[in-house]
Chain A
Amino acid sequence: MEKYIEINNAVKSFGSVKALCGVSLTVKKGEVVLVIGPSGSGKSTLLRSVNRLERLDSGEIFIDGESVTDPNADIRHIREEVGMVFQSFNLFPHLTVIDNITLAPITVLKKTKDEAIDQARSLLAKVGLSDKEKAWPEQLSGGQQQRVAIARALAMNPKVMLFDEPTSALDPEMIKEVLDVMTELAREGMTMLVVSHEMGFARAAANRIIFMDAGQIVEEAPPETFFTSPREERTRKFLEHIL
């Protein structure tokens, strides 16, 4: 399989805090990679570097062979192909659900309004929210907002999806509806890089699990081996806390 995301020796500090201390990782096309680790381990920073919401101090990131970290990179074009889902949903509160989804396809991809609306409706059907297209974000539950956010990202026809703790801000009963959508996406062959502690999703959909701590990758393994026989002591300690 071809490499889709390639991260080489990523280093990033915030002031005196080292968030990433030389992280290298590749995600192949169609692969679902889950990043876990204690808070402050650098996992979100790593994810946010992939579409350059954070700029690395050093190191390189390529998406489908295109450099993200090159200062002259056409970052907007790269971002069109990299969907992102945030912990806090970040829906646009002044726009209805359908306008949230169609805004970028119309303004960035220059789709016609009809085309964008047709596509948005089929995406809403896919995330199970067909009846909510005229709703305002604040009328929706957290789980519904996050599913709209996924639909909004998918409307750009991304080749890869980044998920930054997509269920951390949700009540337990809403987590499943979001994970179901993500699992379905994984089944369809979407390349996904996911920062999450959802072990159910890890077992159901992840090809590989990356454990990060203190800005470094400590261990990586397929889910079965990762949960049953972790190699590193630090991984074992962490798993004791979350399992």
Chain B
Amino acid sequence: MMKGSPLSGRDSKNPNQTTINVTDGTLIPLKDEGSLLSAWNISFFGAVALLVILPLFSPDPYLRILSFVPDGLVATFSVTLISIFFALLIGLFAGLGRISQKLFINRIATVYVEVIRGIPLLVQLFYIYYALGPLLRLKGPPAAILAMSICYGAYMAEIFRAGMQAIPKGQMEAALALGMSRSMAMRKIIIPQTIRIILPPIGNEFIALLKDSSLVSILAVSDLLRRGREYASTSFRYFESYTIIALIYLVMTLFFSRLVGMMEERLRHRGKVH
């Protein structure tokens, strides 16, 4: 993995592998932090230890809180996974639109990306749930998924665009010279190569979305944060409730960021190990 940014331009070890720099990716553990006392190890195992020790030594309220929130965890994951799925779909087509040579399509995709990226996610959630509520008549969870998909679709579009533009021009030319149509070349040549280099940034977006999904707790979605809030407001154990919630989020995001880091490492070596 690279210093500072896991997704920077060209890897010195492997100059043929093009990677792209889309997000800051601060969550990804760095290679030189591989020691036992790395920041990642301290944070992850520290959080896990607290999640074990606190309920063990002080079951009331910690164990009660832990047993109160699992269905919130399910809600958090469903909203995240469904949203990321639709965001990827929207992102693929909007990303294709962003590099389209047809001016009309290009403009629509670019305006979508600019507008959505210019409005905070929380405002978009309010907009779809409250402002468009009378029109869309959506309940909390579908409204949350719709808003998160549209919002993250715009960020995904930029990842797809950057990924496709990172493929050398000669790839498209070689495909065209062989008699392929532009769309066939996209499907067979450009997109398969794009996916390989955009998996790590997509993993990062997934982590960001997992964290941002806590925003949907204000739309009457019983996600992890909302379950914690419910427990806190009936028991008045604010410190304990939110400590557990924070620790659970931390363990999840650190776990997934390590996963993304490993995936990135594997993709870097793919092709040589076959």
Q: Using a CB–CB distance below 8 Å, which chain A residues touch chain B? A: 51, 53, 76-77, 79-80, 82-84, 86, 88, 90-94, 103-104, 107-109, 136, 138-139, 149, 152-153, 156
Contact = CB atoms under 8 A, between A and B. Distances in A.
Contact of B274 (A79, A84, A136): A136
B3 interface: no
A214 to B, nearest CB: 25
A211 to B, nearest CB: 26
Contacts of A80: 178-179
B272 A139 contact: yes
A107 B175 CA distance: 11
Contacts of B184: 107-108
B181 A90 contact: no
B177 A79 contact: yes
Q: For chain B, give the interface size range.
A: 20 to 34
Interface of B: 16, 168, 170-171, 173-181, 184, 188-189, 192-193, 196, 271-272, 274
Contacts of A153: 177-178
A77 B16 CA distance: 32
A94 B196 contact: yes
Given A93-B16, A93-B193, A104-B179, A138 B174 contact: no
A109 B188 CA distance: 15
Contact of B176 (A53, A109, A138): A53
A149 B180 CA distance: 16
Contacts of A76: 179-181
Given A104-B178, A107-B184, 9 more contacts: A76-B180, A90-B170, A90-B171, A94-B193, A107-B180, A108-B184, A136-B274, A139-B272, A153-B177
Nearest to A78: B179
Nearest to B196: A94
Q: Could you say which of A107, A136, A149, A156 has the most chain B C-beta atoms within 10 Å of its C-beta? A: A107
Please name the 9 residue pairs, one residue from A and one from B, whose CB atoms are nearest each other, closest first. Answer: A90-B174, A80-B179, A104-B178, A90-B170, A84-B177, A108-B179, A79-B179, A136-B271, A94-B192
Nearest to A92: B189
Nearest to B167: A93
Contact of B180 (A88, A90, A104, A152): A104
A79 B171 contact: no
A161 to B, nearest CB: 11
Given A80-B179, A107-B184, A156-B179, A93 B271 contact: yes
Given A136-B271, A138-B271, A90 B179 contact: no
B274 A53 contact: no
Contact of A138 (B170, B173, B188, B272): B272
Nearest to A137: B271
Contacts of B178: 79-80, 103-104, 108, 152-153, 156
A51 B177 contact: yes
Nearest to B16: A138
B75 to A, nearest CB: 38
Given A76-B181, A92-B171, A138-B16, A107 B188 contact: yes
Contacts of B16: 93, 138
Nearest to A135: B274
A82 B16 CA distance: 28
A103 B188 contact: yes
A106 to B, nearest CB: 10
